[in-house]
Amino acid sequence: MAPPIAAWLAATFGLAARLCVAEVSCGNHKAPNCASCPQNRGADWCNGDCMWDAKRRHCVDAPSSEDLYELLEVQDTATESEIKKSYRRLSVAYHPDKNPGKAELFNRIRDAYEVLSNADKRVLYDTGGMEAVKNADRGEAEHGPGMEQTLELSLEDFYRGATRKVNLRRRVICRRCRKTRDPARCKSCTACPPGKELVQFRRGNMIFQQEKQVPSKEDCKTETTQLDAVVDRGSFAGDRIVFKHMASQKPGQIPGDVVVILKLGKSRKEFEGWTRRGQDLILKLQLTLAEALLGFDRQVPHLDGHVLHLSTKSVSRPGQVIRIEGEGMPVKDTPSQFGDLDVVISVDFPKVLSGPQRKDIESLQSALAGVSPNARSRQDGEL
């Protein structure tokens, strides 16, 4: 026999009501659908479409009897390709032409795939169930705020390309808490942030709208999510890597995007003399005075490890630029093309000269006195 309040609700409002805590008497006032009794602070009843949340002490939507992931026989962490593969297998197995008695199941599988194969709909389903998906179809879905992270990379990383782990602290909705109340894995979950809704009220002959907060029906937890940031060869500082829908979740919202902004950091010691100018690279090469006058032969490791052979028998001047084509940065999105490398010469002059050194240089000065400037310039050349 139904309790008095349940019988009264069923007779008066046609609700299949049930008691959620101790039986109380609500008198003859009307209790709202799928909510708690307004005159007893939420500690009395829910209708048949709801369930009592003992943690929050109010009614919440009852979990759907059919989970879309279970319908497609995949985990809720399944990839897009795994979902597609399972859908193809099930659609063949239950196609009406092959299995006429399973036409309804085939339609449900098709509808489930329509939701889970769409990135926006899937994230809405994960964060708010089918109610959120339906709201989006009516144009009522909100987009949550995005998040930004900075990723510092060396010049070598920009040259070679890199994949880096980015740790992101964000709020996520626990689907398993929605599906099975208070399992062990959901002990760390708490109520999600409250939502907002517009309510109307009348003052005299005027009707006003006011925004009020409503308790969330979902559980949330804060966790660290690890993202793989793939940096293409030739990327620039300031480039942005976007992870769609990976910002903090809130029921009924499409989560915002996570944007990882690339930043140029310090290079390893052996590459401290390298800088970048657009698609070109600049290498500061310091020579001794003897190398500047008599020529030099150097093996210089490039940013990706291959070795450059730099040599000349000509005199090198401070500030002289030697351009090497094709040894600059790879062109982003066209990694087979490269910019150029400018080798900028600097000379390490001695701070003091010993007596013999001074005499040697004076002798050199005398020897060069008979050489015309044009002849000297013809001896100078690029690599």
How far apart are alpha carbons 182 and 368 in whole angstroms? Answer: 92
Could you tell me if 91 and 106 are in contact, meaning their C-beta atoms sit under 8 angstroms apart? Answer: yes
| One domain for residues 248 and 356 | no
- Chain-centre distance of CA 62, in angstroms? 32
pLDDT for the residue 322: 93
Across 135-144, 176-185, 239-248, 344-353, least confident range: 176-185
pLDDT at 299 over 80: yes
Q: Is residue 111 part of a domain?
A: yes
The count of structural domains within the chain is: 4
pTM, full prediction: 0.66
| One domain for residues 260 and 151 | yes
pLDDT digits (tens, 9 = 90+) for 60-98: 444 455 789 989 999 888 999 999 999 999 999 999 888
- φ, ψ for residue 185, nearest 5 deg: -70, -15
**Residue 275: pLDDT band by 50, 70, 90 thresholds?**
very high
How far apart are alpha carbons 153 and 262 in whole angstroms? Answer: 7
Domain residues for the domain of 39 are 4-56
pLDDT at 376 over 60: no
How far apart are alpha carbons 313 and 291 in whole angstroms? Answer: 9
pLDDT at 49 over 50: no
Domain holding 239: CATH number?
2.60.260.20
Mean pLDDT of the chain: 79
Domain edge (last residue) among 264, 296, 322: 264
